[in-house]
Amino acid sequence: MFLIETKIIADEKPKLKNPVALVGLPGIGNIGRIAVGYLVHELKAKKFAELYSPYFFPFVMIHNDMIHTLRNEFYYWKSPKGRDLILLIGDCQTYDPKGHYEVSGKILDFLKGLGCKEIITIGGFSTGKVTEKPKVFAIATDPEMAKTLKKYEVETKVSGQIGTIVGASGLLVGMGRINGLKGFVLLGETSGFPIITDPTAAEAVLVVLQKVISIKVDLTKLEEKVKAMHDFIKKLEDIQSQAMEQMQKGGKKPEDLKYIG
Amino acid sequence: MFLIETKIIADEKPKLKNPVALVGLPGIGNIGRIAVGYLVHELKAKKFAELYSPYFFPFVMIHNDMIHTLRNEFYYWKSPKGRDLILLIGDCQTYDPKGHYEVSGKILDFLKGLGCKEIITIGGFSTGKVTEKPKVFAIATDPEMAKTLKKYEVETKVSGQIGTIVGASGLLVGMGRINGLKGFVLLGETSGFPIITDPTAAEAVLVVLQKVISIKVDLTKLEEKVKAMHDFIKKLEDIQSQAMEQMQKGGKKPEDLKYIG
Amino acid sequence: MFLIETKIIADEKPKLKNPVALVGLPGIGNIGRIAVGYLVHELKAKKFAELYSPYFFPFVMIHNDMIHTLRNEFYYWKSPKGRDLILLIGDCQTYDPKGHYEVSGKILDFLKGLGCKEIITIGGFSTGKVTEKPKVFAIATDPEMAKTLKKYEVETKVSGQIGTIVGASGLLVGMGRINGLKGFVLLGETSGFPIITDPTAAEAVLVVLQKVISIKVDLTKLEEKVKAMHDFIKKLEDIQSQAMEQMQKGGKKPEDLKYIG
Amino acid sequence: MFLIETKIIADEKPKLKNPVALVGLPGIGNIGRIAVGYLVHELKAKKFAELYSPYFFPFVMIHNDMIHTLRNEFYYWKSPKGRDLILLIGDCQTYDPKGHYEVSGKILDFLKGLGCKEIITIGGFSTGKVTEKPKVFAIATDPEMAKTLKKYEVETKVSGQIGTIVGASGLLVGMGRINGLKGFVLLGETSGFPIITDPTAAEAVLVVLQKVISIKVDLTKLEEKVKAMHDFIKKLEDIQSQAMEQMQKGGKKPEDLKYIG
């Protein structure tokens, strides 16, 4: 039956060499979304699958005068020499706690089916302070991986504090480990102020990421690309915010959610 | 098992010539509900299936002193010369975000099973202004369809803005495309003020719709029919509003929802 | 898997003569609960099945110093001459909109499996006024049944108003019809004031019900039995109210729900 | 499919002699969590299975600079002479009413698969008063078990009041009975003030528990161990509280849930 559950629709099943998955979904500062979106663009990665979920907001967007269903998108990039990449970006994450587990579970199953054994998710680490040289944190699921990460310019200590990573970035790595995928989260330090997109932190993450996966992309166009993404992402966030508010504050008919920009 | 999921119960499986589905469920100004309801009446379309959902409000209505379970209804109309029609109207949409996906998915599966490859959903476009000559917007899922729509007196540009269409009207077309159904949404311009039903916008949509599907109905009785529908729809909306409020504001026993008008 | 869905556990599958199901679950004035509970007691009906649901509140009660899981209970009574009875009473209804559909669906499936083709649910009709001689309303799903009901001292007209019946009482009859069970709802007129139990309305309903199903029970002990039921029902309602409030007002840890006496 | 439902992943299927399950999940005063956690430590019980649930909060924790998915953990201990033990502790309980039923159901199925026919859950009984010598209450599901419990220094009367036990502690015993597992709840009297952990009540429970299951552990290190657990539990509770508040107060983007300690 269609869309009782989260569903991934693939156009092809690419044969990939020991692929690493890079996940950049919307989140704090949209650091992951920008960083992986930029890689998709610069590497001219090929889209091969889409994920739809009944746990996404129940509306379609009108973008460029065309109807667009909320989705996440899978791309792949065949490396001329090193490991191939699977890149996951998207319009949104689910608004539903249980949905986070379902969406993450479906993604992990799909990645495993493509022979993927390693996953890197990218997010933001909100500090409440503006910084010019944002740090990058790398948090793994096992001590061995944590040791490997120390050779890059990242922080692997979170000052002994217990923190959390909410949503797909955290669950994909956390649940991945239980499913036989190794991985870690790369978090760009960001103020957490409502600036929507933080290209500086995204760049800091990309600098590290390139070394980790041994690729080299031109970062000079990043700021310009971010501007282009900014409006779409901002509008999308505003709409979801409003919808969330209406859904939770209650006392509204579902029809009140129906409007057009 | 009964009603763990949304279910469509059909009395017959009509053989239809390349049918187009027209969907008019309750929404802004109830434009779709009125327009398609009026077509059902004028064309003397035949009812052949009902949809029930655990994601509808958990109550029955007492209408004309008889118990009436909340439902959506499928009708068909065999065209003497052109394409046959499937018409979908109903008491309500779901109040639940996930329910929108499930209900839309079940409808799409059902339409595909009837050989339907095209879907037109009808809704309202709330502008906040009262207008005497409401515009009609037509938004498609692909550029080819968008081009075709330009030959009718509709707006296909939404001034570059990103907007959303919430609920079944949007999802049926958006998810339809992924399922191999082409389609578009027809939106009648309406103030969005709490007037419940907007027959003027419904008429504007019907004028366009007749051309699109090459039929001709007498629109002179529309206003009169709207009056008849108005009371039922208004009461239904009030009840759902109250139920929604109680369900979401909390602190109430489920029994508090039990009352009779 | 256990309790992913609502489950009915039966000790036996009684062979019943053309049985009628009588449903009295908690609701306005607890009229159904009292009326059917009293019949169970007076007829010495035999308990044969229990219903448990993940859509009931997630706690157990301590009653008479013993743990008691929230449940609904099925009883049967073999009539010496007429039709046999299936009687359904319970601690609670679900707090969840979707749960109402699931619980009702499971009950209907179970009743059909017992050869039951007719269902009478009993509830309250809140008027906001105290009355000494409460009326009894009978609302059917089809005109034929409505006509039959006119021969009893009941109101079959709800003054042309559209009202609703929330929860199992309504859905069992409304959905029952779609599943091939005929039925109607008997509603006792009650003030709707928070008096928890309304034995006067329950008695009025029992007077009618006895005629409808051709039985004769001694009603003189009703008031006394109601007193015995009252404390248990009241405490149960208070606890559910509080739990509902905490679950919906939010900002509380699930542990805050944990308390005793 | 992964994590559409609660899942228990076992490393081995231990052969156990007539095992008793002891359950200590977070709750009032964390009495169960402390008592059973202490037994796991003192008995050097062996971990053999983990439970993950889509009904847990949708985030991972960063603990000791490593990602840690929220989970419950099963341990076993082979007794040199008496009955073997299965010990269940965990980071959290679900925040979701339906989740409580699903998680409890999965645990019961798993325990039955291990030949377990008896379950003891440990929780707190909040009185609103500070006491130096906390009582221990033992509430069973059947009169026979209740009678057996009287030989220990426990209260089996809850002064005739009807109370509730919310969550897994109650449901595991209540639903267990329906599934063929006998059991009871041991509740340590505690103030219920937000002190997070109450080692005095935990000790009182452990004194009783040792007699019930005929084991002997050194309780002198309890207070010291509690200190070590305290910080982790407190931080976890604060985070869950905040997440709960955000999820329920609404009007927030899911991204707002994303932060790091």
Reported as a single tens digit per residue, the pLDDT across C39-91 is: 999 999 999 999 999 999 999 988 888 999 999 999 999 999 899 999 999 99
Q: Which of C161, C166, C184 sits opposite B58 (nearest CB)?
A: C166
Q: In terms of CA atoms, which chain B residue is nearest residue A7?
A: B178
CB pairs under 8 A between B and C: 162
Distance from CA of B76 to the nearest CA of C (A): 21
Instruction: Give the model confidence (pLDDT) of B47-67 as tens digits.
Output: 999 999 999 999 998 888 899
CA angle A97, A98, A104 (to 5 degrees): 100
Q: Which of C257, C238, C235, C255 is nearest to C246 (CA)?
A: C257
Q: In terms of CA atoms, which chain C residue is nearest residue B243?
A: C166
Q: Which range is most confident: B242-246, D178-182, D257-261?
A: D178-182
pLDDT at B251: 36
Whole-Å CA distances, C184 to C115, C170, C178, C191, D154: 18, 9, 13, 22, 51
CB D121 within 8 A of CB D56: no
C257 vs D170: CB contact, 8 Å cut-off?
no
Mean pLDDT by 10 residues, chain A (261 residues): 83 97 93 95 97 94 90 97 96 93 96 97 86 91 92 84 83 94 94 78 95 92 80 76 61 39 33
Asked if residue D224 has pLDDT above 90, the reply is no
CB D156 within 8 A of CB D86: no
CA pair distance B53, B100, nearest whole angstrom: 10
Q: Which residues pair with B7 in a beta bridge?
A: B52
CA pair distance A180, A195, nearest whole angstrom: 37
The token duo for A224 is 């310009």
- Which secondary structure element, helix H or strand E, spans residue B200, and what is its range? helix B199-212
Of chain D, the percentage scoring pLDDT greater than 90 comes to 63
D252 vs A240: CB contact, 8 Å cut-off?
no
A164 φ, ψ to 5°? -135, 155
D52 vs A175: CB contact, 8 Å cut-off?
yes
pLDDT at B258: 39
Hey, which chains touch A, using 3+ CB pairs under 8 Å?
B, D
The token duo for C11 is 């000790």
Whole-Å CA distances, C47 to A76, C79, C116: 62, 15, 17
Q: Which residues of C touch D157 (CB under 8 A)?
A: 65
Q: Which of B60, B66, B249 sits opposite C143 (nearest CB)?
A: B66
Q: Which of A212, A206, A201, A207 is nearest to A150 (CA)?
A: A212
Q: Which of D7, D4, D73, D90 is nearest to A101 (CA)?
A: D4
D167 vs C261: CB contact, 8 Å cut-off?
no
Identify which has the larger pLDDT, C4 or A37.
A37
Asked if residue D197 has pLDDT above 90, the reply is no
Non-local (6+) Cβ contacts of C75 within 8 A are: C40, C45, C46, C47, C48, C86, C87, C88, C89
pLDDT at C235: 76
C171 vs B69: CB contact, 8 Å cut-off?
yes
C257 vs D185: CB contact, 8 Å cut-off?
no
C258 vs D95: CB contact, 8 Å cut-off?
no
Note down pLDDT in tens along chain B; length 261 residues: 467 899 999 999 999 999 999 999 998 889 999 999 999 999 999 999 999 999 999 999 888 889 999 999 999 999 998 999 999 999 999 989 999 999 999 999 999 999 999 999 999 988 777 788 899 999 999 899 999 999 999 998 886 555 888 889 999 999 999 999 999 999 999 887 766 788 899 999 999 999 999 999 999 988 888 877 777 777 777 777 777 666 654 433 434 433 443
Q: Which of B2, B56, B96 sits opposite C109 (nearest CB)?
A: B2
Non-local (6+) Cβ contacts of D238 within 8 A are: none
CA pair distance D184, D174, nearest whole angstrom: 9
pTM for this one?
A: 0.92
pLDDT at B210: 95
